[in-house]
Amino acid sequence: MFGSLKIAMVAILITGIAGAGMYVMKLRSDNAILKANQIKLESAVADQKQLIENQKKDFEEILVANKKMNILINALQKDLDDLDKRFNKGKRDVGKLAIEKTKLIEKIINKGSVNAKRCIEIASGAELTEKEKNATKKSEINPECPSIANPSYIPY
């Protein structure tokens, strides 16, 4: 009886050591999997940080472009208001003037059309010419949109 008790104790001891060894092996395997997952997670976090930085830069660029566009829109609105004031003075009848002074009105309208076309080109992104950039006198400017066509011109 005492011998069988020794054998049972040894069997329990061997089983416990084998179980502990298997448990340690499982922990090592789990540890390796967790390390691989940690590496992937750190890589994903770095990618997300880079993406957030790029989005911040894009957002700042959009804000700058939006400010430039608002400045241009305000300048164009001011020019439009100036044109409206120019054409709506008192009881002016452009049709009657056109009949009485056909050549003069034709010349004025043609020049205004050329100037307005250039304003549209500039508002659409065309570069200013040196003549437009350096215009400082009223006789040198584009009267249809002086604020965008002639940046050096300061009205008195």
- Indicate the average pLDDT of the chain: 88
Span 39-96, pLDDT tens digits: 999 999 999 999 999 999 999 999 999 999 999 899 888 888 887 777 666 677 777 7
Q: How far apart are CA 79 and CA 40, in angstroms?
A: 58
DSSP 125-153: TPPPPHHHHH--STTTS-TTSHHHH-TT-
Nearest to 134 by CA among 118, 115, 152: 152
Please state whether the predicted TM-score (pTM) of the whole model is above 0.75.
Answer: no
So what's the pLDDT on residue 1?
65
So what's the pLDDT on residue 88?
67
**Does residue 152 surpass a pLDDT of 90?**
no
Band of residue 134 on the pLDDT scale cut at 50, 70, 90:
confident
So what's the pLDDT on residue 54?
96
So what's the pLDDT on residue 105?
87
Q: How far apart are CA 99 and CA 108, in angstroms?
A: 14
So what's the pLDDT on residue 70?
94
**CB 116, CB 82: distance < 8 Å:** no
More confident residue, 44 or 145: 44
Span 121-130, pLDDT tens digits: 988 888 988 8
In the predicted model, what is the mean pLDDT of residues 99-121? Answer: 90
